[in-house]
Amino acid sequence: MKQDRPRVVVTRKLPDVIETRMMELFDVQLNLDDRPMSNGELVEAVKTTNVLVCTVTDRIDAALLSERGANLSLIANYGTGVDHIDIAYTRQHNIMVTNTPDVLTEDTADMTMAMLLAVPRRLTEGERRLRAGDWQGWAPTSMLGHRIYGKRLGIIGMGRIGTAVARRARGFGISIHYHNRHRVHSDTELELEATYWESLDQMLARMDMISVNCPHTPATYHLLSARRLKLLQPHCVIVNTSRGEVIDEIALTHMLIKNEIAGAGLDVFEHEPAINPKLLALNNVVLLPHMGSATYEGRVDMGEKVLINIKTFVDGHAPPDRVIGETS
């Protein structure tokens, strides 16, 4: 593609510095209200634009893309995961898709580690009790949690984020185990003293904590099914900062209610922004509003990648972050 001022539609509010640069470079329609576009607005966008800058809150499926105009040639996703985009359709119809890998790794790993600490030590439960005026002072058996030092952590998805989580966890004296589509390089295993499990079932049955760090794809939908969740030990804690669809949320909620596992930290949900009210009523869960990557620095870095991908594409070159296969 070679064009001077391509038409770009941005579906959500981005950091000011990114929007300003976009206005300088392209013919841009911004979303100043920062509300998700309706399906009708998305249809109008794909009919009239050259480049669509979308986010995880936009459903870019075949039905929407079938309404596209002749000029839509690039979907520049503001985020790493592309499970909300029909990649098969875009490939079939020669629409390029880019994303923003790497820049969210450290922020998401930080949040994962925070919840691996918060759930066993009952941090949010204690904070709620204090705010409610229900604290009568220190007592030897009050608010007892569990230490994480010496525990075994099973990481599902040893990509960039999973590896960053492992590095943090090692600093807390945690033993690293992982399941992945492919075994990581032996140097990485040696550095992290990580144990590879080809069988996810076998790993789940032996861990004290589980961190979900794999992408949502058709192959990972309900990867942690009701059957697999039953393999977890009663003292196990599970943390998910990936995608809600990877876990059977109804089955997980049922087990948490019955104390069949010790607790969970969830930053993502299967039907977000809707949250299961039964989860909201539980004390043994830490619930966050999909904020694992929510740092100012990270959001700006994401925007800069979007800018580079669009500018490179417009100049007639292959964007650096073209989505070719499944992301991790």
Of 267, 264, 265, 266, nearest to 290 by C-alpha is 267
d(CA 8, CA 92): 22
Angle between helix axes 16-25 and 296-314 (nearest 10 degrees) is 10
Told to judge if 304 belongs to the known catalytic residues of this protein, a careful annotator would answer no
Catalytic residue among 179, 243, 245, 249: 243
155: Cβ contacts below 8 Å, ≥ 6 apart: 162, 165, 166, 176, 177, 178, 179, 210, 211, 213
* Catalytic-labelled residue, pool 167, 290, 322, 326: 290
E-strand stretches of the chain: 7-10, 27-29, 51-53, 74-76, 96-98, 152-156, 175-179, 195-196, 209-212, 237-240, 263-266, 285-287
Catalytic annotation, pick one of 19, 67, 189, 272: 272
Q: Supply φ then ψ for residue 10, to 5 degrees.
A: -110, 125
Whether 243 is a known active-site residue: answer yes
Rg of the chain, C-alpha, whole Å: 21
Answer yes or no: 35 catalytic: no
Which sequence positions are flagged as catalytic? 243, 272, 290
